Amino acid sequence: MNNKVEELKAKVLEAQSKNDIAALYVLESEAHETFDEETLHGFYANILDLALEKLTTTLESHKKLNMDEVQDFATSRALYEYAMEHYSAGAIKDAAALFEVLSGMTTDDKFSWSLKLHWHAADQGIALDDFMEKMADIEVTQNNGTFYISGFKKEAQELLDNAQQQGA
């Protein structure tokens, strides 16, 4: 194995040993350039494992993730990406459950509101492609510079209003 791969693996192991999800995200583009598919899959699995550990700790301590804290921000990103993977794979009910938990797990009102829209869309059985086409506003999201879908069309707010009227 070449030096570049070994050096990157050492950096990844150091970040993992420190439970540093943010550092792993800093290494992400280098990992894409350096690792093979199997190693890259393990890289993301490690991020997810650390994020799930952090989620468990946060839930047990009855606290919320603070998006101003680097590790909480990275944890939120990892868990959001995990939920979106479920949504993309057609595991809509699992995605809805993850979005629901995440919507209540953060001190960031914008993130929470956005995830409530994700949650209710998935809970209503709306496929990801339809959600992206009919409810998400990608241009606004890109302008917002968020890692999550944060721009929405009026149909999304209507869905949320209907869900709240039904007591969800």
Cα dist. 42→24, 48, 88, 94, 130 in Å? Answer: 12, 10, 20, 22, 31
Q: Based on the domain organization, do 87 and 163 belong to the same domain?
A: yes
Q: For the residues of 42-66, what is the DSSP string, one character each? A: HHHHHHHHHHHHHHHHHHHTT--B-
Angle at 47 between CA 60 and CA 119, to 5 degrees: 65
Q: Which range of residues forms the domain containing residue 54?
A: 1-63
More confident residue, 85 or 161: 85
Residue 161 lies in a domain: yes
Residue 43: per-residue pLDDT: 95
In a domain, 58, yes or no: yes
Average pLDDT, the chain: 93
Q: Are residues 27 and 90 in the same domain?
A: no
pTM to 2 decimal places: 0.91
The confidence score (pLDDT) of residue 131 equals 95
Residues 34 and 89 in one domain: no
108, 157: one domain: yes
- Write out the two tokens for 80: 């959001």
What number of other Cβ atoms are within 10 A of residue 14's Cβ? 12
Total domains present in the chain: 2
